[in-house]
Amino acid sequence: MSKEVMLLENVEGLGVEGDVVDVADGYARNYLLPQNLAAPVTTATRRYLEKRERERQQEKQEGLAKAKAMAKKLAEVSCTIPVKTGKDDKMFGSVTSTSILKAIENQGLDLEKGQLLLDNPIDELGVFEVPVQLHPDVVVPIKVWVVKE
């Protein structure tokens, strides 16, 4: 026997939220329904999912607006990081995302380490553009000046 249920959450190997799937009666009764991962297919369940989707879209729009406002602030930011150098302007160590975050923090802006898209640490003097991802749709570059101490 199988039972038709609508998924309320993403279930690995079964489907994503909103999918209507046929599962074994025992799987639905003993796992999906008690864990609130699925519900029997009814008009009330469909309305609930539509409401949740509207709420998610609203949150996504608000997050995008905040990210765009932060992007305007970051577009004007440039940070200077002094480093110790040796012979022939060779740097001792390198500039990592942590040191860039500290320089940005000193300017009154708060970012998380995961937002900096720095592939490799900077190991030479110069001006570099480091992309910052504030939102999946908003990436803004900031200028990082690496200079002699």
Domain coordinates in residue numbering, the chain: 2-67, 68-148
pLDDT at 109: 86
Q: Give CA–CA dist 130/68, Å, rounded.
A: 17
Query: What global pTM score does this model have?
Result: 0.67
Same fold flag, 2-67 and 68-148: no
Per residue in 64-101, pLDDT (tens digit) is 999 999 889 888 888 999 998 888 888 888 899 999 99
The CATH homologous superfamily of the domain defined by 2-67? Ribosomal protein L9, N-terminal domain (3.40.5.10)
Q: ∠ CA(81), CA(83), CA(88), 5° rounding?
A: 130
Question: Which residue shows structure tokens 């074994």?
Answer: 24
